């Protein structure tokens, strides 16, 4: 494949792009060919948790469901943190059951995330989407077995001069993926900027991302 988009909320149906489209249990669209599905910490509804988990259980068993997520922890959410922890850990159990990687939303909760991975001995790949933090945290996550995905904030770094460029350059080539999330730019724009920052040709970058995809996902195109 030419391009892999780890996390997007917009299905663009381009033949050269494998898009992992984010889905929520109560808003499931069966027309999307490949997707991840999870309970986002901002949208936990205790009144429908059991029905949400029933849908997760059903969809994760299907080959077109490539990953669990996005799910995770967010200390800036109004959702009680203890409830977030409970729902997240229950979702990780499903990821283990179906041996599907996990696309993670994490805000101000990285130490808890690392602790949970260690305590539960999570064996499936865990991918922190939309990474935008400092190099020290990036190294700590990678040392603990996480993958990091870059997109929206990497594109933003072009104009505002953030240190994310140097952070991205520091990421080992076998530990990153790329995404668009909710930005208007296409995944091609993210690849072009990532290749520039890594001082690689586009084809070289595509080969790297394809290898990383194959490390993480069982589904082969």
Domains of the chain, residue spans: 3-216
Q: Are 9 and 182 in contact (CB under 8 A)?
A: yes
Q: What is the pLDDT of residue 52?
A: 98
pLDDT digits (tens, 9 = 90+) for 94-136: 999 999 999 999 999 999 999 999 999 999 999 999 999 999 9
**Residue of 22 and 219 predicted with greater confidence:** 22
Domain 3-216 is classified in which CATH homologous superfamily?
A: Metal-dependent hydrolases (3.20.20.140)
Q: Is the pLDDT of residue 26 over 70?
A: yes
Give the pLDDT band of residue 161 (cuts 50, 70, 90): low
Q: What is the pLDDT of residue 219?
A: 75
Phi, psi of 212 (to 5 degrees): -65, -40
Q: Is the pLDDT of residue 85 over 70?
A: yes
Cα separation of 167 and 41, whole Å? 26
Q: What is the pLDDT of residue 98?
A: 98
Cα separation of 190 and 195, whole Å? 9
Give the pLDDT band of residue 158 (cuts 50, 70, 90): confident
Q: Is the pLDDT of residue 221 over 80?
A: no
pLDDT digits (tens, 9 = 90+) for 37-49: 999 999 999 999 9
- Binding-site positions for a divalent metal cation read 70, 105, 129, 181
**Average pLDDT of the segment spanning 59-85:** 97
- Binding-site positions read 70, 105, 129, 181
Pairing of strands 17-23, 126-128: unpaired
């Amino acid at each position: 494949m030419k391009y892999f988009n780890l996390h997007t909320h917009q299905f663009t149906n381009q033949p050269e792009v494998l898009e992992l489209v984010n889905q929520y249990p109560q808003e499931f669209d069966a027309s999307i060919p490949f997707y991840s599905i999870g309970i986002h910490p901002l949208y936990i509804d205790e009144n429908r948790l059991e029905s949400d988990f029933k849908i997760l259980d059903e969809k994760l068993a299907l080959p077109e469901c490539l990953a669990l997520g996005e799910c995770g922890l967010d200390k800036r959410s109004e959702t009680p943190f203890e409830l977030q922890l409970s729902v997240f850990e229950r979702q990780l159990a499903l990821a283990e059951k179906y041996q599907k990687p996990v696309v993670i939303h994490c805000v101000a909760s990285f130490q808890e995330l690392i602790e949970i991975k260690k305590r539960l001995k999570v064996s499936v790949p865990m991918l922190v989407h939309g990474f935008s933090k400092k190099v020290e945290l990036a190294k700590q996550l990678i040392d603990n077995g996480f993958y990091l995905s870059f997109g929206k904030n990497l594109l933003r770094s072009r104009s505002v001069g953030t240190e994310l460029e140097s952070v991205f350059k520091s990421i080992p080539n076998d530990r990153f993926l790329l995404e668009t999330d909710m930005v208007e730019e296409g995944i091609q724009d993210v690849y072009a900027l990532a290749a520039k920052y890594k001082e690689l040709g586009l084809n070289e970058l595509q080969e790297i991302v394809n290898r990383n995809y194959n490390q993480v996902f069982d589904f082969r195109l």
